């Protein structure tokens, strides 16, 4: 599609789809909390969330973007460090499992720092 509409247009489409994904996630959060009623069912909201995520992923793939697993691992560690600051008795086994899973996924991912983009 980039060859037809150009990279700038595809980036704009990515931004639009990301905004729609954010709205879909917020709708799911509303339903999850049970506050601020909505006529959308949980099933409909989840289907919409998956659709918008797929749209974002499709745009990202065409732009040759992929997740950086090293950054993902760093962010997971930072999140759990913050949890430990507020929780005196965190489930360390669960935390370690999450970090190990992220690290294993990082090992399987190609290094995407050499991919030319903008």
| Residue range 22-79, pLDDT digits in tens | 999 999 999 999 988 899 999 999 999 999 999 999 999 999 999 898 898 899 889 8
- Specify whether 88 is located in the same domain as 58: no
Residue 11 has pLDDT above 80, yes or no: yes
- Specify whether 9 is located in the same domain as 56: yes
Domain end (from 30, 46, 62): 62
Tokens 């989840």 correspond to 46
114 is a domain residue: no
Range of the domain at 14: 2-62
Residue 36 phi, psi (nearest 5): 55, 70
Q: From the centroid of its chain, how far is CA 70?
A: 15
3-state DSSP: the chain helix, strand, coil percent, rounded to 5?
75, 0, 25
How many domains does one find in the chain?
A: 2
Scanning 6-68, the segments in alpha helix (DSSP H) are 7-33, 42-62
Torsion of the alpha carbons at 97, 99, 65 and 46, rounded to the nearest 10 = 50
Query: Which pLDDT belongs to residue 49?
Result: 98
**Mean pLDDT score, 68-94:** 79
84 is a domain residue: yes
């Amino acid at each position: 599609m980039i060859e037809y509409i150009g990279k700038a247009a595809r980036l704009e489409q990515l931004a639009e789809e990301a905004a729609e994904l954010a709205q879909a996630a917020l709708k799911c959060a509303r339903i999850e909390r049970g506050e601020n009623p909505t006529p959308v069912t949980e099933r409909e909201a989840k289907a919409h969330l998956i659709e918008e995520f797929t749209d974002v992923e499709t745009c990202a793939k065409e732009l040759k973007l992929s997740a950086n697993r090293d950054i993902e691992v760093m962010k997971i560690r930072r999140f759990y460090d913050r949890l430990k600051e507020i929780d005196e008795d965190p489930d360390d086994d669960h935390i370690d499992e999450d970090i190990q899973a992220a690290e294993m996924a990082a090992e399987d991912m190609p290094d995407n720092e050499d991919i030319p983009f903008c």
